[in-house]
Amino acid sequence: MILKKYLKNMVKSRQRRLVRNLFLTGICVSLICGGCSPTYPKEKLAETLVDVCEKEYNVQIQAKLIGKTIIIFIPLDELFDLKLDILPEAVEKIEDVILTTSRAIFSTDAQVDFYMIIAGDVKTTAAEVLLVRYMDDVYKFMHGWIKREDYSRRILWQINFNPKLLKSSFYDFDVEEITLPGFLASQIGQRLNKIFASTVVHKIKINSEFDPETKRFFFSVVSADNTRFEKIYLPIIANIADEVLMEYKFEDFSEIIIRNELLRNFIVITKNDREEYRRVDIDELLTLPFFN
């Protein structure tokens, strides 16, 4: 219940504020730093981020560059208020870190494709808010190549409970480097879960992943009704997966596998099969009656 209520409040209000500030920050930094020599060398990127956040904003962070992903952890004494909304002080600190991280990425010789910001309550709840941003999306939005609404939904948000935060305020950075196909799988899953969460009848959870060895996208759902799975869930999943892959012009995959974990059946969608799902009317499918 806490997660559901928090997500509803945060995504509608806090996300818009953070996205707006990130966009404005990116514009300012790109104008200031365009053509400048790197002020954040790759070898000292994480160390410099820690130093700048503490000196300029009095915000303590921990940072690590893993491959082409910069990961920032913000330990907080509190994250939520009594209404289960994120505290204004926490929002301010997250925004300050976004400002610093954006500025650094625009002025470093390191190739950073993604950044991940994790804000965690290390005192009471062990809750953590995780945000992932793909820098190519930032550049496209800055140049007006994608709309604000599209830009907003390309941000990954997760809310987790991490008991280890109460044992130590030092983050273990047990995080894998983010890859584009993995990011896309998560984004497709996030969009699908938002769609199904908005319905009264179809309260299902979509799990998503990408297997780098087979280059397959996997999407799984638990449904006791196979007809509903095949007539409603499968076409919606295929439609959104195709939509995201087309938006990013991503073709480096082999197949899309959609599984019903409860009945242990699955459907394989090849690249050539994708087109038939582009005409799916999601709103119409979600209003179909129950199947027996």
> What does the pLDDT look like over 130-175, one tens digit per residue?
999 999 998 898 889 999 899 999 999 998 999 999 988 789 998 8
Q: Is pLDDT above 80 for 260?
A: yes
**Position 160, amino acid:** N
Joined together, the tokens standing for residue 228 give: 């509903």
pLDDT of res. 280: 93
pLDDT of res. 168: 83
pLDDT of res. 216: 98
Q: What is the pTM of this model?
A: 0.86
Residue range 64-77: mean pLDDT, rounded? 96
> Is residue 117 within 8 Å of residue 98, measured between CB atoms?
yes
